[in-house]
Amino acid sequence: MTQNAILFIPDISGFTEFVHNTDIYHSRHIISELLELLIDHNNMGLELAEIEGDALFLYKLEDQVDLNKIREQVKDMYLAFHKHLKRYEFQRICNCGACSSAYNLSLKFIVHYGEIEFITIKDIKKPYGSNVIKVHRLLKNKVPLEEYAMFTETLIPETLDASLNMLTETYDFGNIKISYEPLEHLKSLLPVIKPIPDDVPKHKLFDSTETIQTPILELYEVISNFDYRLLWVKGVDRLEYEKNKVNRSGLKHQCLINKKHVEQTTIKKKVASNQLVYGEATREIPFTKRVHVYYVLEEIKNGYTKLNIEVFADFKPLRVLMRPIMKKNFQKIISENIKELILLIDSGFTTEQPNN
């Protein structure tokens, strides 16, 4: 039995082919976040048929089509996508190829309308038929834009043809007339995303520098990726964090220390152009209003990295007298952790990513 349906594919592109495993791992998580975002902004009641790499295949059974509603759906997803990327550019802490080029990602939409059937495999029902094949073939086309919404002739009233960008595409199933609309102009509707201000506490409690024999990006990944945290940070029984996200400024995680949950937030601050910085903030250390720990990395010759660890704090009223004791405690804890970090690196450990 055939039914009429809108077939709708948002497709992300822009990542180059990465070689370093950190880039591959982070690009996978960035795309995953963006696809989830597109699903969350599905205002038309589209059904998700498949996640296909960097794209979604959605459909909706419909006997009558409202092109304006489809255009609004495209607009909502497009703006949500680029708002997320603008915010990520300010929040990101990583300089790998994937994170530093995420703002270049683009989004296009392929929309088709026609009869479909369904096939059931292991109790899973999926759209099936020639129109499903057609909408996927249309991902390869001659539209001279990176970001656009493409509509097939089944969606375009003949009275509108003269006012649209029209093309005739040739595929193995024959010719099909399509129209396309640019989306770039919609970026003017994006809200202003302000940079995250530096807000370093007043008192410096600790400052120490180590030289570690490993490339800067490799060391940065070990320090900033929670998947590796328990391998070198002692005294933490468990770490709770969002496994499907690349760590970034503002992301929260919890450490279980002596059966107590301690919440920490990823932060950053301004550093020199040849440096990387990773930081964490907490408000749950006794006698303090807040404590920030910063790891500042700088590449030096022959694959070595200089690592500077800084701890700053703001104290509660009359508690600044605890500064010497806290300094001593941080010196002991961080020195032990850095020793473990160096042992981990010297053991031949590499950032081969687990399958999350």
Q: What is the pLDDT along the chain (356 residues), one digit of tens a residue?
A: 899 999 999 999 988 666 677 788 899 999 999 999 999 999 999 999 999 989 999 999 999 899 999 999 999 999 999 999 999 999 999 988 899 999 999 999 999 999 999 999 888 889 999 999 999 999 999 999 999 999 999 998 755 555 578 888 899 888 999 999 999 999 999 999 887 787 899 999 999 999 999 999 999 999 999 999 999 998 898 999 998 899 999 999 999 887 788 999 999 999 999 999 999 999 999 999 999 999 999 999 888 999 999 999 999 998 888 899 999 999 999 999 999 999 999 998 877 644 44
Cβ(235)–Cβ(242) under 8 Å? no
| CA dist., res. 237 & res. 282, Å (int) | 18
Cα–Cα separations (whole angstroms), residue 332 to 36, 155, 297, 328: 42, 68, 21, 6
For the full predicted model, state whether its pTM sits above 0.75.
Answer: yes
Tell me how far the alpha carbon of residue 125 is from its chain's centroid.
Answer: 30
d(CA 131, CA 127): 9
CB half-sphere exposure, 104, CA atoms < 13 A:
9
The pLDDT score that the predictor gives to residue 175 is 92
Is 258 strand, coil or helix?
A: coil
Nearest to 48 by CA among 105, 108, 127, 116: 127
Nearest to 62 by CA among 149, 125, 155, 135: 155
Provide the residue type at 157 as one letter: P
DSSP 19: -
Q: What is the pLDDT of residue 25?
A: 87
Q: Partners of 299 in the beta sheet?
A: 305
For residues 235 and 284, what is the distance between their CA atoms, to the nearest angstrom?
A: 16
Residue 336 near residue 234, CB atoms below 8 Å: yes
pLDDT of res. 196? 78
CB 183 within 8 A of CB 74: yes
Beta strands in 42-105 (DSSP E): 47-52, 55-61
Pull the structure tokens for residue 179: 């129209």
Best CA proximity match to 281, nearest among 259, 250, 257, 307: 250
Q: What was the pLDDT predicted at 235?
A: 87
Q: How many CA atoms does the CB half-sphere of 80 hold within 13 Å?
A: 18
Residue partners of 312: CB distance under 8 A and separation at least 6: 200, 201, 202, 203, 204, 205, 291, 292, 294
> 33, 80 in Cβ contact below 8 A?
no
pLDDT, residue 70, reads 96
> Cβ(51)–Cβ(263) under 8 Å?
no
- Cβ atoms 291, 284 nearer than 8 A: no
